[in-house]
A and B are shown apart, each in its own frame.
Chain A
């Protein structure tokens, strides 16, 4: 039931350890077609399966003001008719070939993928390249599919107090950048989305010079190159593709605080969000240190700093965690969450959290803990190789977020090089209350205060 879905990267409480040290470099080949389309081929010949993905370097944070949700709406509409396919025929054809397909939208990208027997790759490329240029929408498509995305928002967000609170936190965190607007859109703007809004977006951004092709699995680079040239290479580049410059954040000079009240909240909790740098081309060291910082502070509920101080050495927290993902085009966030134990107020929990952070800044990183995290990051790289889709996503997302293949391949080693001093320097950089949002998510405001 996940088809056309939005990927909410910043919603998770806990960061997933996505990338890790080099075990042996995966077999990756990259090249660029004459029309500017980037191609990444990842070989894995264990099973005769292929994952075919096309990533557009365009996500919800690239939308013009007033039409929030249009990137995601368009993603749904790409499963409608083209010049040569009827509405729904794309997925039906994938299914008729024993494959599965889906798509997802994030702040920084929109991606479409199929998982299918390797010998069906040409058919996938034919259909995917077709819908890059030849979409034929009808007014009925717009009316019906708009209802679907509204029900999607109902399901993901309106029915979830945690998701509603998350929207308010992001909106408060980003004063000017579009990361403050939900990927799926604000409801009042979704209700007004028109066909022209989607077509304006489609005509400009769905172009080979704005796209990355990732093919992973039982394939060879030469064969992928020939097919890519045949199907994607013939599509003309978009000459008016704008530079990808988004409204930047002004200096953030004041701490923000909010209380979100919802009677559907079962357990009051607090969330602290700090503005944080992301992985940048050729400059991933700070982000790598922040990955460790999240692990050190709140990665394990047993052995992390917050778990130790708030749960094992005191009875403050039922749960605590920290999260950071460096995968972002522009500045992202570092987050801490605390769910107070029975009888502990949010104020007491927040005070204890801030004391724990202050103590950590004095005490520094425990070397044994650091080594355990390093070992786990090393192993997670090996485990990641078990799923070629994970590798495909890793490259697609990175390239869509301005990183290079070299950056992706350097990342595991950069992670292994992080020192305790790096982590403390990153903590000094990020823990600036003037760049933070503190949210209390409560069932009943009067009882919580």
Chain B
């Protein structure tokens, strides 16, 4: 029975540069939706798969199970142990990457056209028939435990763990998905099998295929890879409010430069004001050299090598976050400047010139992202995850262009609140009051 539906074709042409990216949406004979871009210049194919759920689905007391399970997928499957599996992969010159995140688990692959079937068969074996051999479990468990130990001495990781633990005390977001030394040490093979059954499924799956392949062939490869996965997955945890009030938390750590993570409540990805907020963040601290924070904290005062802010709309919460690092005797001044800039943009808004410059950059930079099979596959699967349609590639710059000065300044006043900012500082900062 062949059910093969070819969806709309889009040619994206907009902005300063125009990139012709023809996205085909397909439903495979086995009923899996995927986005395909046929690009024949190079004899290889890139494929991205995201499965919703991720480490949020760790069972009670089993924190770290999904992470450890994903790390074990490359460690042997079917009749191959870890080294036999890797030798087979190396012979094909294919790359497989398995990752766990809070909201998803992901599979990325790249393989030569001439080796498509062998590569997909080997990858399918890893997803569907992982062995979880006891010796592999112990080897990878030791690596994960070493990573947890290293994170405990890494100022950036300490800042993140501290911040999220306070912001989400009763939600998986509040704890590191790697787990703790205690939970990881206690994980059994059965826990890993459970984590595999819970998260490596086609219940809520997003797929993109880009490269030397047409849509029919892509459909065949997708089915070969994913059709045998279970169609059911456990219910996911609910939405959670950002639970941290304004203030300063210092974690004493002996190192010359303090590392700060700061933020407050944010805005949902599907909120009508999202694009205004996106442009606003770009102007405030969106990572470009022209941002207000980069200008005030680095260029004018030399207080840091880099400062940036982010809108973080996650699947089940939303935040505005920023990060900065300054030597222990200067971090207090950096924080003072950040607070002042946060207030200034909330109260006075941005100028028309700033808005125009930000729009020009954001719309001009967008087509430059579509510059290779790997990047295009990644963009497409990300769009699917947040519920966008292929038309978004064409319309996205119009949404940016539509943001008005009035709108962005209203959003600045509503979204940004200097008093609500909480700073977590790891180091030995001087002259800071904590609360």
Q: Answer whether A and B are interacting partners.
A: yes
Q: State which of A149, A154, A339, A387 has its C-beta within 8 Å of the C-beta of B257.
A: A154
A266 and B112 contact, CB distance less than 8 A = no
In this assembly, does B9 line the interface, its C-beta being within 8 Å of a C-beta of chain A? no
A115 to chain B, nearest CB (A): 6
Question: When A97-B16, A302-B82 are in contact, do A158 and B256 touch as well, CB less than 8 Å?
Answer: yes
CA distance A97 to B367 in the complex (A): 12
- Closest Cβ of chain A to B281, distance in Å, is 15
Report the minimum CB–CB distance from A95 to chain B (whole Å). 4
Stretch at the interface among A46-54, A131-139, A195-203: A46-54
Identify which of residues 349-405 in chain A touch chain B, using a CB-to-CB cut-off of 8 Å.
368, 371-373, 375-376, 378-380, 382-383, 385-388
Q: Is the CB of A144 within 8 A of B150?
A: no
A147 at the interface (CB under 8 A from B): yes
Task: Produce 1/0 per residue, B302-330, CB < 8 A to A.
Answer: 11111110000000000000000111001
| Nearest CB in chain B: distance from A359 CB, A | 18
Q: Do A155 and B325 touch across chains, with their CB atoms under 8 A apart?
A: yes
Establish whether residues A382 and B155, one from each chain, have CB atoms under 8 Å apart when the complex forms: no
| B189 partner residues in chain A, CB cutoff 8 A | none
CB A27 to nearest CB in B, in angstroms, measures 12
In the complex, what's the smallest C-beta–C-beta distance from B425 to chain A, in angstroms?
A: 13
Please indicate the chain B residues that have their CB under 8 angstroms from the CB of A371 in the complex.
91
* A378 to B142 Cα, complex, angstroms: 34
- Are B17's CB and A302's CB within 8 A? no
Sort chain B's interface into a size bin.
35 or more
Q: Is A28 an interface residue (CB 8 A)?
A: no
When A147-B303, A376-B93, A383-B110 are in contact, do A99 and B256 touch as well, CB less than 8 Å?
no
Q: How far is the CA of A385 from the CA of B364 in the complex (A)?
A: 24
A284-302 vs B, CB cutoff 8 Å, 1 = contact: the mask equals: 0000000000000000101
- B44 within 8 A of partner (CB): yes
A388 touches B302 (CB 8 A): no
A154, B288: Cα distance in complex, Å: 21
| Interface membership of B404, Cβ < 8 A | no
Which A residue's beta carbon lies closest to that of B19? A47
Indicate whether A96 reaches chain B with its CB closer than 8 angstroms. Answer: yes
Once A98-B360, A266-B153, A385-B42 are accepted as A-B contacts, the answer to whether A154 and B368 lie under 8 Å apart by CB is: no
Nearest residue in B to A48 (C-beta to C-beta)?
A: B17
Q: Which listed residue (B90, B92, B255, B301) contacts A303, Cβ 8 A? A: B90
Instruction: Give the complex CA separation of A67 and B189 in angstroms.
Output: 57
User: Which residues of A from 62 to 111 have beta carbons under 8 Å from B?
Assistant: 79, 87-88, 91-92, 95-100
Min CB distance, B158 to chain A, in Å? 11
Is A145 in contact with B302, judged by CB distance below 8 angstroms? yes
**A100, B368: Cβ atoms closer than 8 Å:** yes
Of the candidates B112, B142, B152, B372, the one whose C-beta lies within 8 Å of that of A379 is B112
- CB pair B257–A159 under 8 Å, yes or no, is yes
Nearest residue in B to A144 (C-beta to C-beta)?
B302
Q: Is the CB of A118 within 8 A of B305?
A: no
Residues of B279-303 contacting chain A, CB below 8 A = 287-290, 295, 298-303
Q: How far is the CA of A290 from the CA of B111 in the complex (A)?
A: 26
Chain B contact residues: helix, strand, loop or mixed: mixed
Tell whether B59 is near chain A: CB-to-CB under 8 Å: no
Contacts of A47 in B (CB 8 A): 17, 19, 367-368, 370-371
Residues on the A chain within 8 Å of B256, using CB = 154, 158-159
A2-27 CB mask vs B (1 if < 8 Å, else 0) is 11000000000000000000010000
Whether, in the assembled complex, B139 has its beta carbon less than 8 Å from a beta carbon of chain A, the answer is: yes
Q: Are B289 and A117 in contact (CB-based, < 8 A)? A: no
Which residue, A48, A95, A341, A385, has most C-beta atoms of chain B within 10 A? A95
B143 part of interface (Cβ distance < 8 Å): yes
* B360 and A97 contact, CB distance less than 8 A: yes
Q: CA A158 – CA B298 in complex, angstroms?
A: 19
Residue-wise interface mask of B (367-382) relative to A, using a CB-CB cutoff of 8 A (1 in contact, 0 not): 1101111100000000
Is B301 touching A144 in the complex (CB atoms < 8 A)? yes
The verdict on B18 contacting chain A, using a C-beta distance below 8 Å, is: yes
> Among B82, B299, B308, B357, which residue has its beta carbon within 8 angstroms of that of A95?
B357
| Across-interface contacts of B300 in A (CB, < 8 A) | 144
Is the C-beta of A231 less than 8 angstroms from some C-beta in chain B? no
Q: Is A312 an interface residue (CB 8 A)?
A: yes
B303 touches A99 (CB 8 A): no
Give the Cβ gap from B366 to chain A, nearest Cβ, in Å: 8
Q: Which of B127-154 contact A (CB under 8 A)?
A: 139, 142-143, 146, 149-154
C-beta contact mask, A317-346 vs B, less than 8 Å → 1, else 0? Answer: 011000000000000000000010110000
Q: A98-B361, A341-B142, A386-B374 are in contact. Are A1 and B305 (CB under 8 A)?
A: yes
Asked if B142 contacts A115 (CB within 8 A), the reply is no
| B-chain residues with CB within 8 Å of residue A388 when the two chains form the complex | 371
Q: CB-nearest residue of chain A relative to B212?
A: A382
In the assembled complex, the CB of B198 is this many whole angstroms from the nearest CB of chain A, namely: 27
B290 with A91: CB separation less than 8 A: yes
A311 within 8 A of B: yes
User: Which chain A residues (144-164) contact chain B, with CB distance < 8 Å?
Assistant: 144-152, 154-155, 158-159
**B17 adjacent to A375 (CB under 8 Å):** no
Q: Report the bound CA distance from A385 to B373 in whole Å.
A: 10
**A92 contacts across to B, CB distance below 8 A:** 289-290, 357
List residues of chain A with CB under 8 Å of any chain B CB.
1-3, 23, 46-49, 79, 87-88, 91-92, 95-100, 115-120, 143-152, 154-155, 158-159, 263-267, 300, 302-303, 308, 311-312, 318-319, 339, 341-342, 368, 371-373, 375-376, 378-380, 382-383, 385-388
Q: List 14 A-B contacts (CB under 8 A).
A: A1-B306, A88-B290, A97-B16, A98-B365, A144-B299, A148-B298, A152-B305, A154-B257, A267-B149, A300-B86, A378-B93, A380-B93, A383-B44, A386-B372
15 more contacts with CB within 8 A, not counting A96-B357, A117-B16, are A95-B288, A97-B360, A98-B364, A115-B368, A149-B305, A151-B302, A151-B326, A151-B330, A154-B325, A155-B305, A158-B257, A266-B152, A312-B83, A375-B91, A380-B93
